[in-house]
A and B are shown apart, each in its own frame.
Chain A
Amino acid sequence: MLLSVVFFPALGQDLLRAIRVALDEAYRSFSREYGDLIESLFDPLLYLLIWFERLLLASPWWVVLIVICGTCYGMTRSIKLTIITLATMFVIGLFGMWDDTMRTLAIILVSTLITIVLGVPLGIAMARSDKLQVIFTPVLDIMQTMPIFVYLIPVVMLFGLGKIPGVIAVVIYAIPPVMRLTSLGIRLVAEEVLEAADAFGTSAWHKLVQVQLPLAMPNVMAGINQTIMMALSMVVIASMIGVRGLGQPVLEAVTNQYFALGLFNGAAVVALAILFDRMTQGYGRRLRSRQ
C-alpha cells in the first residue's frame, strides 16, 4: 500500500500484457480479413508511382533538366533561380546521384500531389465549418507528432514494404500544414469583401472559387511549400521501409559510418528542398503581387 504512494500504481504486468496481446491479435485478424481488399484499392496509385518513376528514369537527362528548368522559370519568372536550378541538378548528376534523385523526385512529387488534392478541399471544409475545425485540429496534431514507426508497423502489415507505405507515411506527415494554412487563409479573407460579393448576388460556389480561394492563395502556397519541405524530410524515414531513392544511401552511410557518402546524398536532399522552396515561394510572391 505504502509503495503506491511512491510508485505510480500501474496496472499489473500480466494485465498489460494481455491488453497488448489482444490488441495485436485484433489488428492481425483485421489485416488478414481486409488486407487484400485494401491493398487492391491502392493499386492505381502504385501504377502511377511506378509509371512516373520509370518515366523520370527512362527519359534522357537533358529532357528532364529542360522540364525542371522550364517549370522553375514558369513559376518564378526568375532567370537567376533557373540557372541555379540547372547548376544544382547538374552537380547532382555529376556526383552520380541522378537516378536516386529521380526516384526521390518521383515519390515526393506524387505524394505532394496527393497531399494537395486531399489537403486543399479538407482545408476548405475546415474553414467553412467550426465543427470540422474542432474535430480536425487534434487529428492533425496527432499526425504531426505520433512517432512515425508506430503507424508504419501496421501500414507495412497491410501493404508490405515499398512505395505505397512510403507515400502513406509521407502524406500523413506532410498534409497538416496545407490543411491548416488553407483553412487559415480562407478564414482571413476580410468580412467586407465577402459582403461585397454577397451584394453582387454571388453564389456560394462562385464566392469560394472567385473570391475566397484567390485571396487565400498566398497562404495556401505557404502551406504547400511547408508540405513539400516536410515530405522531403521524410525521405530517409521512408527508405527504412524499402522506398528507393536518396534515403537509402543516406541510411547506408549512417549505419556504416561513411561520412562522405552521407554528406553527398544528404546535400542532394537539401538541394532539392531549397529548389522546391524557392520555386513555390517565388510562385506565391507572384500571386501576391498580382493581387
Chain B
Amino acid sequence: MKQVESRALTGAWSRKYPALVIGLATLASAGCSVESDCGVVTIAEMTWQTAAFTAHVEQIILESGYGCLAETVPGNTVPTVTSMVERGEPDIAPEVWLNSVRPVVERGIEEGRISIATDIIADGGEEGWYVPEFAVEQYPELATLEGVLSRPDLFPDNEDPGKGRFYTCPPGWACQIINENLFRAFEMEEAGFTIFNPGSGEGLNGAIARAHERLEPILAYFYEPTPLTTRYPMRMIESVPHDPATWPCMTTLDCQNLAPNMYPKPVVRTLVTTSFAENSPEAYAFLSRVSWTFDFLEQIATWQEENQAIARESAVHFLKNHEEVWSAWVPEDVADRVRAGL
C-alpha cells in the first residue's frame, strides 16, 4: 500500500502529520480487499454520457479486479487535461476528444507528463453541424450547408424575429471558438442567422430534444455517439471538406484568415499520467487494451437512453451482459474477481 501514502497524501502532509498519514493509510488498506500495488487511482468523469460510462467501467474493473482504490472525479476536457499535465491529477482521462485540447496534450506528451493509453473509440467519434433527420425528409435541401444557409426561416429565433438560430457550443467547449469562426467564414450573419449560446451541455441537449418533440427543425453543433441522438436521430449536414491547412487558425480566437472549413473526424483517446503508467503497470496494461467501436458505444447509449439509466447503471449493465468484450482486456483471475463483485 505504499502508493497510497506517496500519491494520495502528498509529501508535505506526511512530514507534518505522520500519525494522521499512517492512520489514513491503514484505513485505506482496510477498504482494499485484494493485495496489490495499485493504490489510489482517480478517473476523470467527464460531463457527457459516453465518457462517464467509460469512467465507471474502468472504475469498477480497477477496484474489484485490481484492488485499486479507484474513484471517479468530475471533470471537463480542458481543465482536466491541463491539471493532468501540470499537477499529475487525475490519473486517467478515459475519453478525451483530442481536437479540443491538442496543444495541451502535445506539450504534455513532449514533457513526458502524460501518455496515450489507447484509442478508446477505435474508429473515432463524429462531430459537426447537425439537423434532425425528420427535417431533412421534409425539406431535402437541408442536407447540405448551402441549402441550410438559404433557409434561415426554418430555424426561427424567437428572440430575434426574422432571423434563423444556430445553436453553438456552450462555454468551455473548444468548439465554441471554432463555431464562431466557421459562422463568420460561411458569412452566416449575412445569410440571416444568429449564433446562440445554449449556456450548458444540458441546455443544448434540451433544445435538441424539444425540437424533435415539436417537429421543429433545429440547426446545432453536436457530436456522436450520445444517448440523445439514439432517441432523436440527427444528420450531419454536408458542407466543405476538412482542410488541415487553414484549420489551426480556425481554432484560435480572433482568427484573421477565415476560410470555409469543417471539423475533422475526431480522434478519441484515453490519456493517463506518466506516473500512473509507471507505478501501476498492470492497471496500465488493462487500460491500454480498453477499446470499442462507435457502433458498440452507440448500442450502449441506446440502452442507456431507453432505460433512463445513469452512467453507473450502464457500466454495470455492460459488465454483466458483454463479458465477451471486457474479459479480453484483463487476465483470467482479474475477470473472476470482477464477476464476483458484480
Contact check, B198 vs A248: say whether CB atoms are below 8 A apart: no
A239 an interface residue at 8 Å Cβ cutoff?
yes
CA distance A209 to B315 in the complex (A): 62
CA distance A163 to B202 in the complex (A): 16
Which residue of chain B lies nearest to A153 when distances are taken between CB atoms in the complex?
B206
- The answer to whether residues A17 and B171 also contact, given A31-B213, A153-B206 and a CB cut-off of 8 A, is no
User: Shortest beta-carbon distance, B169 to chain A, in Å?
Assistant: 11
CA distance A50 to B171 in the complex (A): 23
Contact check, A17 vs B309: say whether CB atoms are below 8 A apart: yes
Contact check, B159 vs A32: say whether CB atoms are below 8 A apart: no
A21 an interface residue at 8 Å Cβ cutoff?
yes
Interface residues on A, range: 35 or more
A20 an interface residue at 8 Å Cβ cutoff?
yes
A251 an interface residue at 8 Å Cβ cutoff?
yes
- The answer to whether residues A242 and B199 also contact, given A32-B214, A256-B78 and a CB cut-off of 8 A, is yes
Residues of A within 8 A of B203 (CB): 156, 161, 240-242
Most interface-central of B78, B203, B309 (chain A CB within 10 A): B203
Contact check, A161 vs B206: say whether CB atoms are below 8 A apart: yes
Count of chain B residues with Cβ under 8 Å from any Cβ of A? 28
- The answer to whether residues A257 and B198 also contact, given A20-B308, A35-B213, A160-B207 and a CB cut-off of 8 A, is no
Contact check, B199 vs A251: say whether CB atoms are below 8 A apart: yes
Contact check, A17 vs B308: say whether CB atoms are below 8 A apart: yes
Contact check, A255 vs B172: say whether CB atoms are below 8 A apart: yes
Which residue of chain B lies nearest to A49 when distances are taken between CB atoms in the complex?
B159
Contact check, A241 vs B171: say whether CB atoms are below 8 A apart: no
Most interface-central of A31, A162, A248 (chain B CB within 10 A): A162
Residues of A within 8 A of B307 (CB): 17, 20-21
From the candidates B158, B196, B210, B313, name the one contacting A156 in the complex (CB within 8 A).
Answer: B210
Residues of A within 8 A of B197 (CB): 242, 244, 248
A36 an interface residue at 8 Å Cβ cutoff?
yes
A274 an interface residue at 8 Å Cβ cutoff?
no
B244 an interface residue at 8 Å Cβ cutoff?
no
Residues of B within 8 A of A257 (CB): 79, 82
Residues 155-174 of chain B: 1 if any A CB is under 8 Å from the residue's CB, otherwise 0? 00011000000010011100
B209 an interface residue at 8 Å Cβ cutoff?
yes
Which residue of chain B lies nearest to A24 when distances are taken between CB atoms in the complex?
B308
B280 an interface residue at 8 Å Cβ cutoff?
no
- The answer to whether residues A242 and B209 also contact, given A255-B76, A256-B172 and a CB cut-off of 8 A, is no
CA distance A32 to B232 in the complex (A): 14
CA distance A256 to B172 in the complex (A): 5
A243 an interface residue at 8 Å Cβ cutoff?
yes
Further pairs besides A17-B313, A32-B214, A255-B171: 10, Cβ < 8 Å? A21-B308, A31-B213, A158-B210, A161-B199, A161-B206, A162-B158, A242-B197, A242-B198, A255-B76, A255-B79
